[in-house]
Amino acid sequence: METVQALRQKLLSIDGKGYGAYKGVQGGYNSGWFQIFIDHVQADPFAPPSRLRARVEHRFSGFPRELFVDRAGRVALQDFVARELYRQLKSQQPAERAGTGKSGVLSIDRCGQEILERTAILVTADFIEARFSLGLPARGRTVQGKEAAGLITGTIPGSLEKCLLYKNISKDDLKAHVDLVRDQEFLRGSLEERGLVAFVANGSILPRESGISDRPLKGKTVVPFLSPPDLEIEFTLPVRGRIAGMGVPRGVTLIVGGGYHGKSTLLRAIERGIYNHIAGDGREMVITDGSAVKIRSEDGRRVESVDIGPFINNLPFGQDTSSFCTENASGSTSQAANIMEAIECGTSLLLLDEDTSATNFMIRDGRMQRLVAKEYEPITPFIDRVRDLYSDLKISSILVVGGSGDYLKVADLVIKMQEYRASDATSEARAIIDSTPDFRVVESTGAMGRPSPRVPIPVRGGREDRVRIKARGLEQISFGGDEINLAYVDQLVDPSQTRALAQIIRYAYDCYVDGRRSLPEIVERVLQDIREGLDVVSPYARGSHPGDYALPRGQEIAAAFNRLRSLRVCAPGKK
């Protein structure tokens, strides 16, 4: 491997040449305490920036092994360093860019409020590696070799020294970050044995700054969460010790209350509790069953051979709902499909908010039942299936309900939000049920069974038949001629997850979609491969880096598959 000094000379030697001369510096270089790899050189100053890696062996980095001996510690360490390096690189950017296009732009994948497993920083038993990008400097299409040499052999090593050497970072801050993630993982792993699906710690700050900001709301009007006394439960965490808060038990839980009193805010926090959060977020100890899926209506989505029969049957013209297909789902059929797909991929907890649900899917009251006979109504509303989901499949539900008192009858627990304060209103709700007439007739018939897993059919020729794949922001993936719309997959939180999803679908089609494996089997196989690192799904050559991926859950992988309009499936065992 050549030296970094040799790289500097190369860059100086191509100063003033055409932009294509940068291709000659691609490769790896050794500086002594770190190695730098220029994996990809952009074609011109306006193209996506060049991809670089910097690797520091642990004999130089000095990070104690106890920090990353377990997965929780490793993910926390990677996240901490990524945040530190992002701040450092950002501080190095000049106020005014010198050069053309993306010249001189240094960047690393930006972390949000959640602590996700990312490819921006890689920690192994032997080294720590940073993956970042650099817009190689140019004036027009002329190489600025001196500026490039200053960045790659001066600015970048200075930033790496501050962030990738243990002696130069805040040891207390790093330890607190790792300890927090380990406590969060311990708490999530303890929910099942305590009979819970979620936990909201006392003192949590649930409201967010705005509709476009996920930072915590601040100010005198913010009300910290406090558990109702009857629901308060304690845990003893490995590092933090004793913690108290509201435990949400398995079963059917309603969150009720007036408008703007915090119902949806509480559900939103529980929805995001599938992820760990950074200190100061306010939701650090809002912890949810990791398989929870937010369900909503999704008008216009495509549905491919989903058994929505438990909710919708007897459609006009005899349309089959045991293997329902549509290019343009209604609110009710989309919500039914979303639930059955969530069950197929193994959820134990459904989260619903009436504000984002189809009204006719959620409830049919007694008066409407009298006016429209059941034989002419194909929808079995969710109110008549929510108990079956738990009794037959052990799938719990948490619902925000503000307009339908009929749901009080099917609830195990009723949490009332009033002026952002929670109370246990279960006894009050039962008294109301006992004292008021009930005109509704339960419309569900038969047990709630699990859908048969669907088997995706190969639609492309495999590795040699590449299609163009591109993620656009958080909500869109272009997959060949298809557009995958993820706008209503509410638990997708980071554009880097979407970038990873795009490559995961390609990888799954290349490796596992064979007309025999079911969708849950395919998702599990991909996740098993990813446990060795997200790099496995990268389309780049081995040794090159995908520095802008973040790990999605299996639930989001399945959701992306199900929104692929070219998806075709067959029954298990058939080809």
Q: Give the domain-ending residue among 146, 169, 192.
A: 169
Same domain, 336 and 399: yes
Query: d(Cα 67, Cα 360) in Å, to the nearest integer?
Result: 52
Question: What pLDDT digit, counting tens, does each position of 129-172 carry?
Answer: 999 999 999 999 999 999 999 999 999 999 999 999 999 999 99
Same domain, 138 and 163: yes
Same domain, 417 and 350: yes
Residue 556 covered by a domain: yes
Q: Give the domain-ending residue among 428, 446, 464.
A: 446
Question: What pLDDT digit, counting tens, does each position of 101-111 carry?
Answer: 889 999 999 99
Query: d(Cα 156, Cα 2) in Å, to the nearest integer?
Result: 18
Which among 11, 15, 46 is positioned nearest to 25, based on CA atoms?
A: 11
Query: d(Cα 119, Cα 260) in Å, to the nearest integer?
Result: 39
pLDDT at residue 528 in the model: 97
Residue 187 covered by a domain: yes
Same domain, 280 and 196: yes
User: Token digits for 440?
Assistant: 């509704």
pLDDT at residue 461 in the model: 45
Residue 277 covered by a domain: yes
Total structural domains within the chain: 3
Output phi, psi for 169, to 5 deg. Answer: -105, 170
Same domain, 11 and 147: yes
Q: Give the domain-ending residue among 169, 189, 210.
A: 169
- The enclosing H or E element of 13 equals helix 4-13
Residue 175 covered by a domain: no
Same domain, 222 and 313: yes
Residue 156 covered by a domain: yes
Q: What is the mean pLDDT of the chain?
A: 94
Output phi, psi for 286, to 5 deg. Answer: -100, 105
Instruction: Find all residues with CB under 8 Å of 125, minimum gap 6, and list them.
Output: 58
Cα atoms in the 13 Å half-sphere on the side-chain side of 260: 0
Residue 62: burial class (beta carbons within 10 Å; 0-12, 13-18, 19+): middle
Same domain, 66 and 95: yes
pLDDT at residue 574 in the model: 44
Residue 248 covered by a domain: yes
Instruction: Find all residues with CB under 8 Å of 42, minimum gap 6, and list them.
Output: 22, 48, 49, 50, 102, 135, 136
Residue 12 in 3-state DSSP? helix
Same domain, 441 and 464: no
In CATH, what number is assigned to the domain containing residue 426?
A: 3.40.50
pLDDT at residue 216 in the model: 97
Domain encompassing residue 76: 2-169
Neighbours of 238 (CB within 10 A): 11
Residue 222 covered by a domain: yes
pLDDT at residue 571 in the model: 58
Which among 256, 269, 292, 250 is positioned nearest to 407, based on CA atoms?
A: 256
- What single-letter DSSP state applies at residue 230? G
Same domain, 347 and 378: yes
Same domain, 404 and 495: no
Same domain, 48 and 141: yes
Q: Give the C-alpha distances (Å, rounded to integers) separating 76 from 71, 83, 526, 551.
A: 8, 11, 23, 14
pLDDT at residue 275 in the model: 98
Residue 575 covered by a domain: no
Same domain, 133 and 274: no
- pLDDT tens digit at each of 575 positions of the chain: 899 999 999 999 999 999 999 999 999 999 999 999 999 999 999 999 999 999 999 999 999 999 999 999 999 999 999 999 999 999 988 766 678 888 999 999 999 999 999 999 999 999 999 999 999 999 999 999 999 999 999 999 999 999 999 999 999 999 999 999 999 999 999 999 999 999 999 999 999 999 889 999 999 999 999 999 999 999 999 999 999 999 999 999 999 999 999 999 999 999 999 999 999 999 999 999 999 999 999 999 999 999 999 999 988 777 889 999 999 999 999 999 999 999 999 999 999 999 999 999 999 999 999 999 998 999 999 999 999 999 999 999 999 999 899 999 999 999 999 999 999 999 999 999 999 988 899 998 788 999 999 999 997 544 445 678 899 999 999 988 888 999 999 999 999 999 999 999 999 999 999 999 999 999 999 999 999 889 999 987 655 678 999 999 999 999 999 999 999 998 554 44
